[in-house]
A and B are shown apart, each in its own frame.
Chain A
Amino acid sequence: MFNYSSFAKTALVATALMTTSVQAQETVVWWDFLGGGDGVRMKQMISDFNAAHEGEITIDATTLEWGVPFYSKVQTSAAVGEAPDIMTYHASRIPLAVDQGILQEITADDWATMGLSEDDYADATWNAVTIDGKQYAVPLDTHPIVLYYNKDVLAEAGLLNDDGTPKGIDSREGFTATLQALKDAGSVKFPLGSVTADGNFMFRTIYSLMGQQDGELMTDGEFLAGDNKEKLQNALGVLAEWTNEGLQSTYTDYPATVALFTSGEAAMMINGVWEVPTMTDLHEQGKLFEWGAVELPVIFDHASTYADSHAFAIPANKGKEMTPEKRAAVLEVMSWISKNSLFWATAGHIPAYGPVTASDEYKAMEPNATYSSLTENMIFDPKTPLAGVAGPIFDVMSTYFVPTLNGEMEPSEAVEEIQYELNDMQ
């Protein structure tokens, strides 16, 4: 027997349910700058998120050009109220953004809502998103530079330890000897593939080497004060020496460096962890030798590696208040992606969320697990609006790194010039 009224009721309830779910559906507009192998992985995570939140939250993602184009667009769009709901941001760029007032604070309530807290992050990472005691972004990862090496070539030259790591990475003499031995063996064109034509990139290596001597770029608003100058000069001196001895590739730009290493013409390479997927993929296709990646060699007093952090930030759209529902949805996005960032590790980056890196699955990932120890020795950019990827400090230093690393200029001269120009920028 067909009960008309109960059918009508059911239909009504069903309709009502559907309407509320439609109303509750939030679309989160997302901008990122992840165009490489990591971008592919992020798209996967976004679609996983959308699937897990069907009918509730949808991420509408757009990938923009990394660097100056991305940050110009973010700055100008926030100023006219056209910025997205959430965006990826480099921790190193946060001081400038806060100065310009284009980021919303992530409040203590927000952290509680997300179920994340300071304890979940390494101190250096947490500190990198904090300005004057307030947080302005949720760190997703840290992406340091590491030393990649060709296991086949090193093994042949007898330069591998029993655990498969390169010999001599604990001292300047040791590492130079390893490079020299590779040169003498003559099986490769360059012992070390180095991005010597790109000062922007070399900033990471050189700043790491300064960090190994406890050097700082900026103290009390002054650049290279006291013996920091000498420490920068030491760092440049090491790299200049490798060039003079013919131990590293000269005038090599970024893509060429990766090509030198993957083609086997350079036995080692200092590069970002974001190249891990490149190696993994090539290796899977059988196009790459056996390889590994370890923390940077200790050239000076102690281990130290420059890192930056990809983080999530909420733009402060001028003249446009975000609804509480939208904000809740954005917080859910940041929380979910942070907690599910194990997959992000396949892009090479070290997830910032502690419980992920502490998990057994992560510890089984290689070479990630080998180099993840470096999170204890990370240093970030100085906190100044002039810092950050593609920022003015990068630019000034770049100009003097290139001639110095290719034997055109003495390190001492470069340091004088760098100091003059850095202080001139303020």
Chain B
Amino acid sequence: MIRNPGKEALVAYLLIAPFVAVYALIFIYPTVQMFLLSFTDAGLIGGGDFVGLDNYERLPRDRRFDTAFWNTAYFVLLTVIPGTVVALGISLGVTRLSGRLQALVLALFFLPYILPVSVVYRLWDWTLNFQFGIAMHLFDFFGMDRVPIFKVTAWFMPAVAFVTVWWTCGFSVLLFLAGLRAIPREIYEAASLDNATRWTTFRKVTWPLLWPVTSLVLTIQLIVQLKIFDQVYLFSTGGRPNDNLVMVYYIFQRAFQSDQGGRAAAVAVVLFIMVIIVSVLNFQLMRLSGGRNR
């Protein structure tokens, strides 16, 4: 058959057209609008007047933006690498099991992941509520002072990070398991013939061969955790929301509570740029470090 490149290209365009149309309508167009909105003093509804860079100039001296920025960074620090390490540890353990036991243990670790965030919030509130939480009875039993975990700033982010890792690591475990299974058995056999210790096998075989998966998990985690909102919102309801702000929460607060769509859009643009920069940096870093191991 004679290939007709012109026709092929046409078919290709036709096939991707629906996607491009939808993508343009529900992603590109709103994004452009968001950029435009960030230069106005619009409220939640309707347009606003052009105010130039005002919304951006306010940000450096805006204390709540400061809180939101550093809390987000802190949260990323507390979840991305720890979450990945925990998931790797669990999957290394699970992979040693076999048959039904493995399926059972895997299911147990994966279970939290299928819960909606509201249920996760309820579970942990029941556990750690200052007056009625079951964990508080443990504190009492050991004669320790009760700690109002979600009401004190020092405890808030670490606690939410812990809950998040508990909640979401099941998915990373699955990715790691798939990666571990893709490593050929023969390599481990060869390693054991060479009398390699477990640590050496991990360092020289598992870790480098698993690196593509690890970098994938890290990238996904990084992007997801930069956009953290639900847990922080739920756990700080009725607490001290302005101390626990993260970027998306701050956007929500400005737009929906303070009726300042323009200022919210400016923060959203900053977050957008942050995610892009971090993702690109992360990708380059992964590529470089991955190249060394190969």
- Chain A residues with a Cβ under 8 A of chain B: 68, 72, 75-76, 78-79, 96, 100, 102, 195, 197-201, 249-254, 256, 259-260, 385-386, 390-392, 395-396, 398-400, 402-403, 406, 408, 421, 424-425
Given A201-B238, A391-B258, 20 other A-B residues pairs in contact with their CB atoms under 8 A: A72-B44, A72-B256, A75-B44, A75-B259, A78-B45, A96-B259, A100-B45, A197-B151, A199-B239, A251-B130, A253-B130, A253-B238, A253-B239, A259-B131, A390-B257, A399-B241, A402-B151, A406-B151, A421-B63, A421-B64
A residues near B130, Cβ cutoff 8 Å: 197, 250-253, 256
Contact A100 B240 (CB under 8 A): no
Interface residues of B in 247-266 (CB under 8 A from A): 253, 256-259
Interface size class of B (residues with CB under 8 A): 20 to 34
Contact B239 A197 (CB under 8 A): yes
**19 A-B residue pairs with CB within 8 Å:** A68-B257, A76-B45, A78-B45, A100-B45, A197-B148, A197-B151, A197-B238, A197-B239, A250-B148, A251-B148, A253-B238, A391-B257, A395-B241, A395-B242, A395-B253, A398-B240, A399-B240, A399-B242, A424-B62
B129 within 8 Å of A by Cβ? yes
With A and B bound together, what is the CA distance between A96 and B64 in angstroms? 22
Interface string of B112-149 (1 = CB under 8 A from A): 00000000000000000111100000000000000010
With A and B bound together, what is the CA distance between A28 and B69 in angstroms? 46
User: A200 contacts which of B43, B45, B238 (Cβ < 8 Å)?
Assistant: B238
With A and B bound together, what is the CA distance between A73 and B63 in angstroms? 28
User: B258 contacts which of A76, A254, A392 (Cβ < 8 Å)?
Assistant: A392
B183 within 8 Å of A by Cβ? no
Q: How far is the CB of B29 from chain A (nearest CB, A)?
A: 17
B147: nearest chain-A partner, CB-CB: A251
B125: nearest chain-A partner, CB-CB: A253
Contact A395 B257 (CB under 8 A): yes
B242: nearest chain-A partner, CB-CB: A399
Contact A198 B253 (CB under 8 A): no
Contact B242 A252 (CB under 8 A): no
Contact A399 B243 (CB under 8 A): yes
B36 within 8 Å of A by Cβ? no
With A and B bound together, what is the CA distance between A100 and B64 in angstroms? 25
Contact A386 B258 (CB under 8 A): yes
With A and B bound together, what is the CA distance between A251 and B258 in angstroms? 26
Known contacts: A249-B131, A392-B258. The answer to whether A402 contacts B44 by CB under 8 A is: no
- Chain B residues with a Cβ under 8 A of chain A: 43-46, 62-64, 129-132, 148, 151-152, 238-243, 253, 256-259
User: B242 contacts which of A198, A385, A398 (Cβ < 8 Å)?
Assistant: A398
B residues near A197, Cβ cutoff 8 Å: 130, 148, 151, 238-239
Which 10 A-B pairs give the minimum distances between C-beta atoms?
A251-B148, A198-B238, A399-B242, A79-B45, A256-B131, A251-B130, A399-B240, A392-B258, A402-B240, A251-B151
With A and B bound together, what is the CA distance between A96 and B129 in angstroms? 35
A residues near B240, Cβ cutoff 8 Å: 199, 398-400, 402-403
User: B241 contacts which of A75, A398, A421 (Cβ < 8 Å)?
Assistant: A398
Q: How far is the CB of A319 from chain B (nearest CB, A)?
A: 13
Contact B44 A256 (CB under 8 A): no
B residues near A386, Cβ cutoff 8 Å: 258
Known contacts: A78-B45, A256-B132. The answer to whether A402 contacts B239 by CB under 8 A is: yes
Contact A79 B46 (CB under 8 A): yes
Q: How far is the CB of B193 from chain A (nearest CB, A)?
A: 60
B residues near A102, Cβ cutoff 8 Å: 45
B residues near A200, Cβ cutoff 8 Å: 238
Contact B241 A256 (CB under 8 A): no
Q: How far is the CB of A410 from chain B (nearest CB, A)?
A: 16
A residues near B129, Cβ cutoff 8 Å: 253, 256
Q: How far is the CB of A98 from chain B (nearest CB, A)?
A: 12
With A and B bound together, what is the CA distance between A425 and B152 in angstroms? 24
A residues near B257, Cβ cutoff 8 Å: 68, 390-392, 395
B residues near A76, Cβ cutoff 8 Å: 44-45
Q: How far is the CB of B102 from chain A (nearest CB, A)?
A: 41
User: A252 contacts which of B131, B241, B253, B256 (Cβ < 8 Å)?
Assistant: B131
Contact B259 A385 (CB under 8 A): yes
A residues near B45, Cβ cutoff 8 Å: 75-76, 78-79, 100, 102
Q: How far is the CB of A257 from chain B (nearest CB, A)?
A: 8
B residues near A406, Cβ cutoff 8 Å: 148, 151
Contact B239 A425 (CB under 8 A): no
Please indicate which of the listed interface residues A249, A390, A402, A408 has the most CB atoms of chain B within 10 Å of its own CB. Answer: A402
With A and B bound together, what is the CA distance between A285 and B46 in angstroms? 51
A residues near B241, Cβ cutoff 8 Å: 395, 398-399
Q: How far is the CB of B135 from chain A (nearest CB, A)?
A: 14
Contact A100 B63 (CB under 8 A): no
Q: How far is the CB of A252 from chain B (nearest CB, A)?
A: 5
A residues near B243, Cβ cutoff 8 Å: 399
A residues near B44, Cβ cutoff 8 Å: 72, 75-76, 100
Q: How far is the CB of B63 from chain A (nearest CB, A)?
A: 7
A residues near B253, Cβ cutoff 8 Å: 395
A196: nearest chain-B partner, CB-CB: B151
B residues near A201, Cβ cutoff 8 Å: 238
Q: How far is the CB of A222 from chain B (nearest CB, A)?
A: 18
A residues near B256, Cβ cutoff 8 Å: 68, 72
With A and B bound together, what is the CA distance between A406 and B62 in angstroms? 27
With A and B bound together, what is the CA distance between A102 and B63 in angstroms? 31
With A and B bound together, what is the CA distance between A26 and B152 in angstroms? 53
Q: How far is the CB of A269 from chain B (nearest CB, A)?
A: 13
Contact A100 B259 (CB under 8 A): yes
B residues near A198, Cβ cutoff 8 Å: 238-239
Q: How far is the CB of B206 from chain A (nearest CB, A)?
A: 45
Contact A254 B238 (CB under 8 A): yes
With A and B bound together, what is the CA distance between A291 and B12 in angstroms? 75
A249: nearest chain-B partner, CB-CB: B131
With A and B bound together, what is the CA distance between A399 and B46 in angstroms? 30
With A and B bound together, what is the CA distance between A285 and B45 in angstroms? 48
B residues near A75, Cβ cutoff 8 Å: 44-45, 259
Q: How far is the CB of B52 from chain A (nearest CB, A)?
A: 19
B243: nearest chain-A partner, CB-CB: A399
